[in-house]
């Protein structure tokens, strides 16, 4: 019976894979069992954030040294931007086999899927929605999860448009959803999130069209986390949920923050796994894995008070939101190695976002 393991490892730089290498050398991680690696890197998280590609290259080179060509199957999902006190780190998701006779599930289950490269003209449109929805279903099957309600978080790494990609599509006579490369990041995240919602039954196909992507914020998934980057043109999809077919001590729960300071639902998700804060021990708090989405509310307010995240022409609002939400969550769980991804189009309500917590039950 499979068993899920999640290792959180500090990173000194986008190419610092020494902690992962040390864990492999110590036998803590079996490289053949690595399903995915999520990373928070200290770039700007925008179109030109090459810290993500730098990290992918370093991780891929390391993995090839251990598992050869199988390294290309590992989903490498890098989220740029560690604003505020958020600490750069890796989350290594591993699938092993339970050789210790542990009680059967339900327990944390992990599945993955890759897609073919997305034609630039499909980005931010229904072609992307449908491609992601199909990949989510394949990742669920890979995890052995049959019921959508057992899925608690879906992490997607999706592409963005560059000037060269726009020109390539237009050279073939195709039109793109936008020629603004920064705006393409939001459209890609939004279309991917709607694909997740479609796959999980949160949103009906009849509700979707090109026109609603990025505009109808009443359509959202409570379990979607999408991060766009320049380093790929396909999608890497990782499903996290609970399954009777998996064993081990880890469990996952999710919540939806209604706004950037709404941490009570996150505490509730932790409580459902048997973790009560602040009475948890320091070791228990240190071991908690937190994955979250964050964005600046389009209303320009948080509970009636004005914020300036959308008015700052020097710093992208996604950077403000990441640092702000990471701080709120760090105050709850007691550490700063929190995976907060900015830009939550169709990922939770406006100004809020989905959160998943993984803990030893």
Catalytic residue among 5, 40, 157, 293: 157
Supply the pLDDT for residue 278: 79
Closest Cα to residue 280, out of 192, 361, 177? 361
Residue 20 to residue 59: CA distance in whole angstroms:
9
Spatial contact of 163 and 181, defined as CB atoms under 8 Å apart: yes
Q: How many CB atoms lie within 10 A of CB 332?
A: 18
The count of residues in the chain is 361
227 is catalytic: yes
State the binding site for substrate: 52, 79-80, 189, 227-228, 322, 341-342
**Cβ-contact 230, 53 below 8 angstroms:** yes
Mean pLDDT confidence for 227-233: 92
The residue that leads in pLDDT, 341 or 279, is 341
Model confidence at 361: pLDDT above 90 = no
Mean pLDDT of 226-250: 95
5 catalytic per annotation: no
Asked whether 224 and 193 are in contact (CB, 8 A), the reply is yes
Quote the pLDDT of residue 101: 54
Is the predicted pLDDT of residue 182 greater than 70, yes or no? yes
- Is the confidence at residue 201, as pLDDT, over 90? yes
For residue 103, the model assigns a pLDDT of 62
Rounded average pLDDT over 74-95: 96
Residue matched to tokens 């669920």: 140
What pLDDT does 179 receive?
A: 95
pTM metric for this prediction: 0.95
Which of 230-269 are b and which e, b meaning 16 or more Cβ less than 10 Å from the residue's Cβ?
A: bbbbebbbbbbbbbeebbbebbbbbbbbbbbebbebbbeb
Q: Using the predicted structure, report yes or no on whether residue 99 has a pLDDT greater than 70.
A: no
pLDDT band at 130 (very low <50, low <70, confident <90, very high): very high
Does residue 283 register a pLDDT over 90? Answer: no
Question: In the predicted model, what is the mean pLDDT of the chain?
Answer: 95
Residue 104 pLDDT level (bands cut at 50, 70, 90): low
Averaged pLDDT, 132-144: 98
Mean pLDDT (whole number) for 335-351: 96
Binding residues for Mg(2+) are: 295, 344, 347-349, 352
Measured CA to CA, the distance from residue 238 to residue 230 in angstroms comes to 19
Q: What residues contact residue 159 under an 8 Å CB cut-off, 6+ apart?
A: 117, 118, 123, 188, 228, 229, 230, 232, 233, 234, 235
What's the mean pLDDT in 331-355? 96
Q: Given CA atoms 110, 137, 267, 294 in this order, what sign does their dihedral have?
A: positive
C-alpha angle with apex 278: 92 to 301, nearest 5 degrees? Answer: 80
Q: What is the dihedral of CA 141, 143, 144, 147, to 10 degrees?
A: -80
Q: How far apart are CA 194 and CA 217, in angstroms?
A: 11
Q: Quick one: tokens of 356?
A: 């998943």
- Of the listed 188, 221, 225, 227, which one is catalytic? 227
* pLDDT tens digits, 12-55: 999 999 999 999 999 999 999 999 999 999 999 888 899 999 99
């Amino acid at each position: 019976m499979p068993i899920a393991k999640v290792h959180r490892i500090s990173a000194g730089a986008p190419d610092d894979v020494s902690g992962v290498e040390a864990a492999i050398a110590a036998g803590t991680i079996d490289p053949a069992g690595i399903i995915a690696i999520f990373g928070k890197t200290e770039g700007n998280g925008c179109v030109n954030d090459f810290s993500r590609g730098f990290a992918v290259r370093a991780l891929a080179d390391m993995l090839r040294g251990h598992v050869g060509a199988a390294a290309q199957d590992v989903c490498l999902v890098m989220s740029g931007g560690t604003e505020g006190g958020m600490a750069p780190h890796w989350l290594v998701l591993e699938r092993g086999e339970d050789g210790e006779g542990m009680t059967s599930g339900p327990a944390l289950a992990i599945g993955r899927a890759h897609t073919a490269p997305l034609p630039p003209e499909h980005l931010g449109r229904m072609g992307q929605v449908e491609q992601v929805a199909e990949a989510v279903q394949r990742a669920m099957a890979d995890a052995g999860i049959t019921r959508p309600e057992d899925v608690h978080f879906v992490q997607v790494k999706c592409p963005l448009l560059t000037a060269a990609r726009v020109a390539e599509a237009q050279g073939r006579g195709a039109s793109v959803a936008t020629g603004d490369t920064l705006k393409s990041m939001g459209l890609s995240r939004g279309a991917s999130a709607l694909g997740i919602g479609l796959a999980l039954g949160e949103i009906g196909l009849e509700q979707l069209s090109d026109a609603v992507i990025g505009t109808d914020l009443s359509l959202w998934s409570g379990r979607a986390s999408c991060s766009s980057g320049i380093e790929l043109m396909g999608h890497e999809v990782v499903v996290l949920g609970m399954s009777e077919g998996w064993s081990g001590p880890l469990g996952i729960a999710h919540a939806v923050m209604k706004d950037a300071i709404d941490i009570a639902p996150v505490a509730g998700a932790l409580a459902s796994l048997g973790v009560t804060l602040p009475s948890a021990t320091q070791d228990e708090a240190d071991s908690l894995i937190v994955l979250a989405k964050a964005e600046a509310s389009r209303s320009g307010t948080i509970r009636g008070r004005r914020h300036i995240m959308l008015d700052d022409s020097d710093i992208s609002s996604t950077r403000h939101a990441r640092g702000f939400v990471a701080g709120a969550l760090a105050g709850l769980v007691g550490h700063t190695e929190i995976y907060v991804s900015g830009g939550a189009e169709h990922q939770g309500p406006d100004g809020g976002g989905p959160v998943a917590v993984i803990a030893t039950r």
